Amino acid sequence: MFGDEMRILACDGISPEGIALLSEGHDVVEATPTPEELLELIPDFDAVVVRGRSKVNAEVIAAGAKLKVIGRAGVGVDNVDKAAATERGIPVVNAPTGATQSVAELAIGLMLACSRRIPEADSSMKDGKWIKKQLKGHELNGKVLGLVGVGRIGSRVSEIATAFGMEVIAYDPFLDEDQIAACQACKVDLDDVLERADFVSVHIPLVPETKHFICEDEFEVMKDTAYLINCSRGGVVDDAALAAALRDGKIAGAGLDVFEVEPAEGEILQAPNVVLTPHLGASTYEGQARAGAIVAEQVLAVLDGRKPDHQVNKF
């Protein structure tokens, strides 16, 4: 459709698997540009592929006179101006399944870290302490996991949690009982999740309707022995309200991989009983390899005149 060899700008360290696919018949340039450098580079390229660092904003899209497709090697496309791309008729494609297993495993890992007090145990050992009696924890087996959102990642978390012997209940207004049952969970309303769950794990996108979806009111409903896990998007949980809930003993603890402001700042960093990781959900070798390969296939489909499977803007 667009001719033969194209120039593709691959930013932020796209996986070797993705680069190899893109390089079959196309000229690929790898870079980790500053915003200013990206603006200078983009006019010479037919496609750009990014991870989470580079921002393909309206200014970059306007400067990309030759742009035919924008690829995001991951799930979220927060760093791509979809409206500006749509106005130009430029498909935005992503890799929605690349990090599913990686994020699901991290959510389970944060549950284990919280319930078995692993970070505290590690820190105390390195301080020369042996405080075994003070670090008694809880098993996941027999506990209730409440999912908020049962998409690709939430459903995988449910499957893994079931293998641990957890009872899984789930709130997702977009799925019926049979669809949620297929994910080894039982459909309930949000209040049931909050009231019954020993662990509440959030797996919803950040859109205007979900901003601070979990905030002060929700912490009032949760059990004071419950833990909150968030590996979805910062801003879905009100970090300040969570910090207050932890200080006041409204809930037992939390495990967070995402934050309203990143790098994280504010009260949540000093809150008690919270395990924090720096947005590591997709940061596995396996997940990055899958994401790079998937987005490469999507970009190549557009350049070859074929319909991509994972286009996030419609026109």
Rounded CA-CA distance 221/215 in Å is: 10
CB 159 within 8 A of CB 184: yes
Rounded CA-CA distance 280/106 in Å is: 8
Catalytic residue among 26, 156, 203, 233: 233
CB 10 within 8 A of CB 49: yes
Catalytic residue among 40, 177, 262, 265: 262
Our answer to whether residue 279 is catalytic in this structure is yes
Our answer to whether residue 262 is catalytic in this structure is yes
Our answer to whether residue 26 is catalytic in this structure is no
Residue of 6, 88, 99, 7 lying closest to 51 (CA atoms): 99
Catalytic residue among 7, 88, 196, 279: 279
CB 211 within 8 A of CB 237: no
CA 114 to chain centroid, in Å, comes to: 19
Burial annotation 176-190 (CB, 10 A radius, 16+ → b, else e): eeeebeebbbebbeb
Residues annotated catalytic, as ranges? 233, 262, 279
